[in-house]
A = this chain, B = another copy of it.
Amino acid sequence: MELYDLELSGNCYKVRLFLALIQQPYTLHPVDFLEGEHKNDKSIERNAFGEIPVLVDGDLTLRDSQAILVYLARKFNRTDWYPTTPADEAKVVQWLMVAESEIARGPNDARLHDKFGYELDIDTAREKSTRILTILDYHLSDRDWLALDRPTIADLACFPYVALSHEGGISLESYPSIQSWIERIKALPNFVSMPAI
């Protein structure tokens, strides 16, 4: 398995984190983001969306970090991280979608603006951040993990950009339940970090 990767990308990091937690080896291909390597012909051939991460496993080329988490959980039969009973599976998928939508449009967009200079509507990104962080904090006020009574890929999908909120100018000070959840994730066996987490 080969992972096309950028160290500073939270989406790449969630894949590296899961592979570390389940102790699976892979080959890392750092992509030269500043040189636009993710947009060159070879990269576009791998992924028409011109984004990273991309996972290559034999004939299979996969884009989207959430889809990659699903694939790895299934490939290595880790139903502890991603169950197969319909209700539990769907509960996890709900939060994969929160990572793909509300967190991407909130703390991730705010960080893209502040840290990487993306031209986007920062006020909207901050408003959306407040909204999703408030929902998350309330949700986590009476449970340890997002989807089930144990950590799942739902937690890993949502974790990076929430934990990186400060790089988008958003403090987690008023979200104590989110802070405890972050500490629980950091305490998982074989946890690995990334810069600023």
Contacts and interface: CB of A to CB of B under 8 A. Distances in A.
B90 A71 contact: yes
A180 interface: no
Interface in A122-142: 124, 135, 138-139
Contact of A93 (B66, B91, B101): B66
A139 B48 contact: yes
A63 B68 CA distance: 22
A71 B97 contact: no
A120 B128 CA distance: 13
Given A48-B138, A48-B139, A94-B62, A87 B104 contact: no
Interface residues of A, number: 36
B93 A64 contact: yes
Contacts of A64: 93-94, 97-98
Given A48-B135, A48-B138, A138-B48, A90 B68 contact: yes
A193 B161 CA distance: 38
A135 B71 CA distance: 23
Contacts of A75: 86
